[in-house]
Structure 1
Amino acid sequence: MTYLETTPSAAPDYREEKRQRIASFANDAEFRALAETWRVKALERKYMNNFSWLGRPLIQLPTDAMAIQEIIWATKPDLVIETGVAHGGSLVMSASILEMLGHGQVLGIDIDIRPHNREAITSHPLAHRISLLEGSSVDPALVAQVQAQAQGKRVLVFLDSNHTHEHVLAELNAYAHLVAVDSYVVVFDTFVEDLPDEYVWTDRPWSKGNNPKTAVWEWLKSHPEFQIDKSIEDKLLVTSAPDGFLRRIA
């Protein structure tokens, strides 16, 4: 039984059936290969740009959105820290789950929050659960502000801004220690490392060998208090965050 499956209301026999099915996906090479092929095609066609959450564009795979709501519902954080704001869909999604839980705030951080996006976020019906910080997520002064807001709170972190190795490593060093035991740091776009060798990013500074997954691998070498929760990836199969669901275990 995985951590996220310990508290649902479903009957025990249903939970066990699901656990066995998800476990079988870990070794289903054919199914996993299909998922990887589909993910490349989806990226080429900007499939993940097709969706919204409560009126705000959400640049996520639907499977990852499902995982996010499961994690928030299971961990019940007081504060969700999100780097990367874009149109605000992810902030609104987190806020909507917190609203149903009846507590918690979302803190969105981005180096450039465009005025029309800020206006849409601050005027949204869930704006009372959202606050914004504009600046680099690894700027020491901004990090200090975030750490002050996180003091004494149960924290969950989503990293989805600049996807270079150096930047993601700096974000992990800045924010992961704030996360509570049995909560998560979710590092998005780790799939860049798994793209075909011939895939070329023409307008981005990240690439194979320089991306969120390589940062996760390096960071975990010196942080045994975290482990990759493979059960989430095995359940989703199609995810932008392979090796990116990091659960704090100590």
Structure 2
Amino acid sequence: MDPIEQFRTERAAAIDGYGRDGDFQALSNRWREASMAKRYVYNFDWMGRPIIQYPQDIVAMQELIWATRPDLVIETGIAHGGSLIMSASLLAMLDMCDAIEAGVSFDPSRSKRKVIGIDIDIRPHNRAAIESHPLASRIQMFEGSSIDPDIVAQVREASAGYSRVMVCLDSMHTHAHVLAELEAYAPLVTAGCYCVVFDTLVEDMPAGFFDDRPWDVGDNPKTAVHEYLKSHPEFEIDRSVQNKLMVTVAPDGFLKRL
């Protein structure tokens, strides 16, 4: 067997084993709960902006973007802007790699790839930091509720003409809101690309864990995902991603469009 293929085969077998290893999963879940209580995810930046994600999920997004090569990433929830900056930087790297593979000079001004971010409240200091970032030209932001029909219409218009689209949902985490986001934005995801629904972990945490938030066990992104999938067979949960990570905010949240 080719040594590269052998490595991939052995790794895939290990990842599949993690998904069936109850002890390993329980240990990972205990660490996740303890780390969430200590606000561990607030400790990391991407190119100077707080990203508020586990390092594992950051790596997972890099892998998915490289594998699917989108020309548009739509994100609900902006916060400090770290995720927007990360997506923009990865799209810039795709452009650079495309140029190298084609044997032409890299001209960022000719790129169409971009990131759309949506948030109900883009705080002035965060907006200023994002707009002054070197990758700002790749980012388009909309302020308003991600499920407001006017915002949805504007995002759909801004998405026209893109052939490879990824969506990331990370704003209000109640069942009703995420389900409405899925109905609005998941149809924009193109075949082979992903809709990533963050913070599905709420369903797996102790009831009342997020006592200062309106979401809880039974009312959260994971319950919305499973409700949405009942009538949308064009998507499936790619559990190989969460099995690989073991610690993630998005169990059952990596949805691949078939």
TM-score under structure 2 length normalisation: 0.91
- Alpha-carbon distance in structure 2 between the residues aligned to 1:78 and 1:225: 21
* Aligned pair partner of 2:23 in 21, 27, 30: 30
Deviation, structure 1 residue 152: 2.9
- Determine helix, strand or coil for the equivalent of 2:190: coil
Q: Where does the alignment leave 5 or more consecutive residues of structure 1 unmatched?
A: 1-9
Q: Where does the alignment leave 5 or more consecutive residues of structure 2 unmatched?
A: 96-110
Q: How many percent of aligned residue pairs carry the same amino acid?
A: 60
Please name the residue that 1:148 is paired with: 157
- Determine helix, strand or coil for the equivalent of 1:146: helix
TM-score under structure 1 length normalisation: 0.94
* Aligned pair partner of 2:243 in 223, 234, 244: 234
Q: Return the letter of the residue paired with 2:232.
A: H
Deviation, structure 1 residue 196: 2.2
User: Which structure's CA Rg is the greater one?
Assistant: 2
Deviation, structure 1 residue 200: 3.3
Deviation, structure 1 residue 202: 2.2
Please name the residue that 1:183 is paired with: 193
Q: Return the letter of the residue paired with 2:231.
A: S
* Aligned pair partner of 1:133 in 142, 145, 155: 142
Runs of 4+ off more than 3 Å: none
- Determine helix, strand or coil for the equivalent of 1:59: coil
* Aligned pair partner of 2:79 in 69, 86, 100: 86
- Alpha-carbon distance in structure 1 between the residues aligned to 2:242 and 2:50: 24
Q: Deviations over 1:54-99 (max 9, x none)?
A: 0000100110000001111111111100000000000001111001
- Alpha-carbon distance in structure 2 between the residues aligned to 1:23 and 1:200: 30
- Alpha-carbon distance in structure 2 between the residues aligned to 1:37 and 1:214: 21
Number of aligned residues: 239
RMSD: 1.0
* Aligned pair partner of 1:223 in 191, 207, 232: 232
Q: Within 5 Å, give how 1:1-40 maps onto structure 2.
A: 11-40=4-33
- Alpha-carbon distance in structure 2 between the residues aligned to 1:57 and 1:69: 17
Q: Return the letter of the residue paired with 2:122.
A: I
Q: Within 5 Å, give how 1:114-133 maps onto structure 2.
A: 114-133=123-142
Deviation, structure 1 residue 201: 2.3
- Alpha-carbon distance in structure 1 between the residues aligned to 2:158 and 2:140: 11
